[in-house]
């Protein structure tokens, strides 16, 4: 899962910096799994 970020100067459209973070979801054995649906829905509503 990739989440992109943009930081703007207060009271301005001036972009100061942008970036992203990568997130992986694994089970107890380290195998890649899909993120929980509830988490995905919450992020979609709030990002």
Q: What is the pLDDT of residues 7-47, one digit of tens each?
A: 999 999 999 999 999 999 999 999 999 999 999 999 889 87
Return the ∠ at Cα 29 (arms to 24 and 35), rounded to 5°: 30
10 backbone dihedrals φ, ψ, rounded to 5°: -55, 140
Q: Which residues contact 24 (CB under 8 A, 6 or more apart)?
A: 1, 32
Query: What's the pLDDT score for residue 38?
Result: 95
User: What pTM was estimated for this model as a whole?
Assistant: 0.63
């Amino acid at each position: 899962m990739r989440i992109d970020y943009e930081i703007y100067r207060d009271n301005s459209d001036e972009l100061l910096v942008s970036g992203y973070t990568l997130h992986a979801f694994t089970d107890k054995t380290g195998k890649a799994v899909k993120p929980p649906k509830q988490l995905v829905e919450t992020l979609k509503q709030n990002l």
